[in-house]
């Protein structure tokens, strides 16, 4: 008589238990993907802001406006950007105009006379976004990622 080949019930239970243990240990690693995606989006936004600020500063330097202590308009690529010390100001007419899509794709979470924070549209949080601080007489404009409340 031929013996049938196959798995016994105990072998199947052992495999299921091993897969369960692997799933429990690996699941937390994949659950934080949304937070990682938010942080990566903010890093991309910071890069866009830094790049736009650098381009505007270059244009302002060519026009001799890098030492201007008052808000001055600079036209770069057909877009007029409000600048101070050659860098975009911290408002919609400055950095908002310099970065394409910034005012339509992102929400203003906080705003002051010298800084502005852009966050995710729909849930603007001052602790989750990119903080842009305009230039002063002693320092260039800066952008930093704030990920406290993401």
Residue 94 lies in a domain: yes
Domain count, the chain: 1
- Distance, in Å, from the CA atom of 5 to the CA atom of 101, rounded to the nearest integer, reads 64
Contacts for 48 with CB less than 8 Å, ≥ 6 apart: 99, 102
For residue 87, what are the CA distances in angstroms to 8, 70, 145? 72, 11, 19
Residue 13 lies in a domain: no
Residue 19 lies in a domain: no
* Per-residue tens of pLDDT for the chain, all 150 residues: 567 777 788 989 999 999 998 888 877 777 777 788 888 999 999 999 999 999 999 999 999 988 888 888 888 778 899 999 999 999 999 999 999 988 888 999 889 999 999 998 877 677 889 999 999 988 999 999 998 777
Residue 106 lies in a domain: yes
- Distance, in Å, from the CA atom of 57 to the CA atom of 34, rounded to the nearest integer, reads 35
Give pTM, 2 decimals. Answer: 0.76
**Domain of 52, in residue numbers:** 34-146
- Distance, in Å, from the CA atom of 54 to the CA atom of 78, rounded to the nearest integer, reads 16
């Amino acid at each position: 008589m031929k013996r049938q080949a196959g798995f016994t019930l105990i072998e199947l239970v052992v495999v299921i238990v091993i897969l369960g243990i692997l799933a429990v240990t690996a699941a937390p690693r994949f659950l934080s993907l949304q937070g990682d995606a938010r942080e990566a989006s903010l890093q991309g936004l910071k890069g866009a802001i830094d790049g736009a600020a650098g381009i505007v500063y270059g244009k302002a330097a060519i026009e001799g406006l890098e030492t201007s202590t008052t808000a001055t308009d600079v036209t770069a690529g057909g877009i007029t950007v409000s600048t101070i010390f050659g860098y975009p100001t911290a408002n919609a007419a400055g950095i908002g105009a310099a970065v394409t899509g910034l005012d339509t794709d992102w929400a203003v979470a906080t705003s002051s006379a010298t800084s502005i924070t852009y966050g995710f549209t729909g849930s603007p949080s001052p602790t989750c976004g990119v903080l842009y601080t305009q230039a002063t007489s002693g320092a260039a404009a800066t952008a930093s990622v704030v990920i406290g409340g993401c």
